[in-house]
Amino acid sequence: MARHLIQGREISTPVRVRDAVACAASYLVRVDAARAVIAYSGLDVAEVLPGRALCTLAFAEHADGDLEPCREFAVSFLTRPPDAGPPPRTRGLRANLAELRRTGAGSFVHWLPADQGFATEAGRVIWGFPREVADIDLRLASPYKRCVVRRDGRLVLDLLVRPGMPLPFAGTVTPPRAYGQLDGVTRRVPWSAALRGVRARFGGALIRLGNHPIAKELSELGLPRRAVLTGTVSHLAMTLGEAKQL
């Protein structure tokens, strides 16, 4: 167990999120553009289809946990493990996914703003996530879930997710390894998740980009385009351990 002092309050790892609502939309984007976006991390994106990488946009409202309640947004990329060696020659989707299952897929968090300062500092100090404070407006009560993100008074994006069919699943999952980078240091964050109230569908997202630099990055990836998969979780619990430097 490690202890961290955040704004005068001691926080110990592992940190637990006991209840949150989360929504996500995943997109197939240009692999060359995705590699350019995360080149600073030292990680390589996974080429799930010839010329295509997977980028996920997610938003969540944390209602109960060891940290203060907050809203957050995330831009992440499916990556290959740092010790996997040279990428394989381009193959089909099934073979590429099998290789990722064998070697261990990762999720590199490129941007992870929150709507309040405590969560922002905790994310930076404890895990080295690229946290910064942003205006995050979530509308989760209606059937369509909406997230509007603004930073420095500029629109980043407006994302609408339409929930799909309920899935007969509830329990703990082993998610991809999480990576973050801050101040030139890339770290791996061990975590686990338990899900209830899962819905998913193909497509199901509408996105409008603004004029913020992050929006420009997303447009260079090829967004807006049709999402390949969207999902919502009405009750999400997570445990995040101590980050380890690569």
Q: Torsion over CA of 162, 147, 27 and 209, rounded to 10 degrees? A: 120
Q: Return the closest-CA partner of residue 235 out of 14, 15, 71, 18.
A: 18
- pTM of the predicted model over 0.85: yes
Q: What is the pLDDT of residues 41-95, one digit of tens each?
A: 999 999 888 899 999 999 999 999 999 999 999 999 999 887 766 666 656 666 6
Coil, strand or helix at 213: helix
In sequence order, which ranges of 144-234 are alpha helices (DSSP H)? 213-221
DSSP state of 39: G
- What's the one-letter identity of residue 102? R
For range 150-163, the mean pLDDT: 97
Angstrom distance (rounded) from CA 114 to CA 110: 14
CA atoms lying within 13 Å on the CB side of residue 202: 0
**pLDDT on residue 113:** 98
| pLDDT > 80? residue 111 | yes
DSSP single-letter state for residue 38: T
Q: Please report the sign of the dihedral spanned by the C-alpha atoms of residue 209, residue 21, residue 74, residue 65.
A: positive
Confidence of residue 172 (pLDDT cuts 50, 70, 90): confident
Rounded average pLDDT over 141-159 = 96
Per DSSP, 88 falls in state: P
- Contact, 59 vs 69, CB < 8 A? no
